[in-house]
Chains A and B, each alone.
Chain A
Amino acid sequence: QKEVEQNSGPLSVPEGAIASLNCTYSDRGSQSFFWYRQYSGKSPELIMFIYSNGDKEDGRFTAQLNKASQYVSLLIRDSQPSDSATYLCAVNSAGNQFYFGTGTSLTVIP
């Protein structure tokens, strides 16, 4: 079982819609959770991190964490074509190891 799992996609949504990206993790003691965005040919950039159960909002992005279900998600409201990228979920485990998922490719269709 992988430490962090994501649906590889591709996920396509129309412009203006909500894009929902999901991630599960295996280490129940994981402490903090991150979402990175990676454009083709570029390195990942940090979008958000979350460490408490519930929702955390930053502009059009909302991260949701459910530690009981070992599930973290990223919602992108009012999706724009510029949001088209690969989104990487990352988890800092109880052992202070950092694990990335394989990423979900998102395409926002104009």
Chain B
Amino acid sequence: GAVVSQHPSWVICKSGTSVKIECRSLDFQATTMFWYRQFPKQSLMLMATSNEGSKATYEQGVEKDKFLINHASLTLSTLTVTSAHPEDSSFYICSARDSGGGHYNEQFFGPGTRLTVL
């Protein structure tokens, strides 16, 4: 149980275009999902907390107008990188918490999406 999927697993796009990444909890409901970014050989950096039915909470320094997050259902959150630039190239990882109880608030991670902006 507790499987989280991400789509796409990798994407290459041209500078100036927008890219949407989907995060789905497959076998549980997730009121809260998280979006992380990780550059090579660096640690996870939390970008934002996505709450179902409400606005996302962004970490300091993360531009909310550039990284649009939508959490329209209990099993789906999307991250859209708008007007992507080469410096946005990174490994984007989502995670989700099981809202159904019986757990200790652990986060389950998706497999990640590798974004390359040319």
| Residues of A in contact with B (beta carbons under 8 Å apart) | 31-32, 34, 36, 41-46, 49, 51, 88, 90, 92, 96, 98, 100-103
Contact = CB atoms under 8 A, between A and B. Distances in A.
20 contacts: A31-B105, A32-B104, A32-B106, A34-B107, A42-B111, A42-B112, A43-B109, A44-B44, A44-B93, A44-B109, A45-B109, A46-B107, A49-B104, A49-B106, A88-B44, A92-B106, A96-B105, A98-B34, A98-B107, A101-B43
Contact of B43 (A42, A46, A102): A102
Interface string B13-51: 000000000000000000000100000000110100000
Closest 3 CB pairs of A and B: A32-B104, A102-B43, A43-B112
B110 A43 contact: yes
B44 A98 contact: no
Interface string B96-117: 0000000011111111100000
Given A46-B106, A46-B107, A102-B43, 8 more contacts: A31-B105, A32-B106, A34-B106, A46-B109, A88-B44, A98-B34, A98-B105, A101-B43
Contacts of A103: 43-44
A36 B112 CA distance: 15
Contacts of B110: 43
Contacts of A100: 43-44, 46
A97 B109 CA distance: 16
Contacts of B111: 42-43
Contacts of A96: 105
A46 B108 contact: yes
Contacts of B106: 32, 34, 46, 49, 92
